[in-house]
Structures are given as structure tokens and as C-alpha cells.
Amino acid sequence: MRFKFIPIPVRINDQIIADRIINGLIFDIKHFALHDGPGIRTTVFFKGCPLNCWWCQNPESRGSEIEELTINDSSRNRNASISVPETVGRMVSVSGIMEEVEKDRIFYDQSGGGITISGGEPLLQPDFLIELLTACRKEEITTAIDTSGFAEIEILERLFGLVDYYLYDLKLMDEDLHRKNTGVSNQSIIHNLAWLAAEGEKVIVRVPLIPDITDTKENLKAIAHFVKSLESDITVDLLPFNLLAKDKFHRFKLPNKLMKMQTQAPEQIDRMVDYFQTLGIPVTIGG
């Protein structure tokens, strides 16, 4: 049976939205990104996220303001860290980002790449996001958004025609587990994904495989059946667990539960792929 779309209201902490018509808050720009959508891409990381996933690979992305932190710095001595101050986040204009993006244009042309707006949560700064996407449209640069999907439906409606690819993180189908592990309900995330599918948007669902949390048979089968119910050409990327963020947790002096976890074995991944392929859903390992 096809999924029925019912709008769900979302309460979002909108403290960072005010006064951001022209400038936006980001924490990084990465050139030559290979796992953030098709081709070679420039990834712009917006700062601020309404979710609080404890496994977040970008823990510095979550705060909705410029942060003055004291971090562990081991760049000068691999065996010892010293505490140093660091500013995380900066305000930028659309033209400032476009200057960076233009440097990579030659790679987009050759690889089918473009800009990816990630985070944090891009949908948390909708006015700035729309300005940036509009500038990319004018310059004929393809666009992708890496989003949790946690937003008012009206924000997605405003993006219509400006986004070539949605990289849509879908973590947990069980609402209680979603609340427990991310701090928010998954209802708007599920309904917004259904809306994008119904509108024919190009969506790649990305599932972070967190051991014993998101990578369970029950959760992955629920995601597979939900994607199937959307009757669209959505594809799925399964993102095996990795420890790439461990240095960041040390750097930002955060408690690190990741270290106790291990990445999935190849045979486990094969089984997970099967849950999707048996329903005819194209699935890729990694992004």
C-alpha cells in the first residue's frame, strides 16, 4: 500500500534563524569531497543541528552559534595533547561561499559533481540556504543537500526546484528509539521523506549503521519496507560504522562511546544489503 502523506508539525529551536537573511553560519568547507553525492563535490558544512545523535561524526556542528572552545591539540606532539583555544564556526556570505565553489568548477564539469550542503542541518537556516541554492542555479552548478529531514514541510516546499539530490539520513523507524538516540521524534522525518518521494525529487536515503542501534535486522527491514512503500526510484546508501570521528571527540573533549564499537563484518553487511535487494531497492555500501 502506498504511504499516505499527512503533514506533521515540528518544533525546532530556531534561535539561529534570526538576522541571517544574507549571512549564514558554517563551520567548514571541504574541497574534492568524494562521498557527498555524485562526482567530485565541494561540501559546505552549516553549523547548528536540532538533533543530538550521540554518534555524530561532526560534533562541532551541533551548536547553533560560534563557539570559543578549549580543545586538545596533539598536532605538535603525537604522544601528548595541550589545551589550546579554538573558534568553531564563522559567518559567511553567499558570495563568499560561491568564490570557494567556483574554484572547483572544473572538477564538477569533468565528474558530474557540484555543491553539497551538509552540516549540522542545512534546513535550520532556510533563508540563507535558499539564497545559496539560488546562486548555484544561476551559475548552473548542481546541488545536493545532506539532511536529517527534521524540518517543517513548508521549508522543503520553498526548496522546490533548487535541489538536484537529497542525501536523506534515515536512522531509526521506531519512534521511541529515535527519540532516545537523537533527542527528537522521527515523525516529520518520515513524512517529509514521503512528501519528497511523492513530488518525484531525487532522493538517496542514507542509513548510518550504528552497531546494535540502527543496524538491527528489525530496523533495516522496517526502513526497506518503508522505502518500498513509497513507490519511487529512491536508492539507499548503507554507511558502515567507522571510527573516523574518534580524533574529533578527543579534540573537542567530548565523551566518546564510539571507541567501544566495531565496524560491521563484510558478511553482516551482505545480509543487510539483502534486506533491500530482495525488495528490489538499489543499495550501495558507503556514499
Residues found near ligand SF4 in the complex (CB under 6 A) = 49, 51-53, 56, 58, 61-62, 119-121, 148
Comparison of 113 and 119: residue with beta carbon closer to ligand SF4: 119
CB of 71 to ligand SF4, least distance (A): 18
* Angle subtended at Cα 120 by Cα 227 and Cα 19, rounded to the nearest 5 degrees: 120
Comparison of 40 and 53: residue with beta carbon closer to ligand SF4: 53
Give the CA-trace dihedral at 186, 189, 192, 196, to 10 degrees: -140
| CB of 235 closer than 8 Å to CB of 202 | no
CB of 177 to ligand SF4, least distance (A): 14
Alpha helix positions (H), 112-265: 126-138, 153-158, 175-182, 187-198, 217-229, 246-251
* Helix 94-102 and helix 126-138, axial crossing angle in degrees, nearest 10: 40
CB of 96 to ligand SF4, least distance (A): 22
Q: Which residues contact 14 (CB under 8 A, 6 or more apart)?
A: 124
CB of 169 to ligand SF4, least distance (A): 6
Dmax (CA) of the chain: 59
Comparison of 45 and 275: residue with beta carbon closer to ligand SF4: 45
CB of 111 to ligand SF4, least distance (A): 25
| CB of 211 closer than 8 Å to CB of 261 | yes
Comparison of 61 and 64: residue with beta carbon closer to ligand SF4: 61
Comparison of 141 and 210: residue with beta carbon closer to ligand SF4: 210
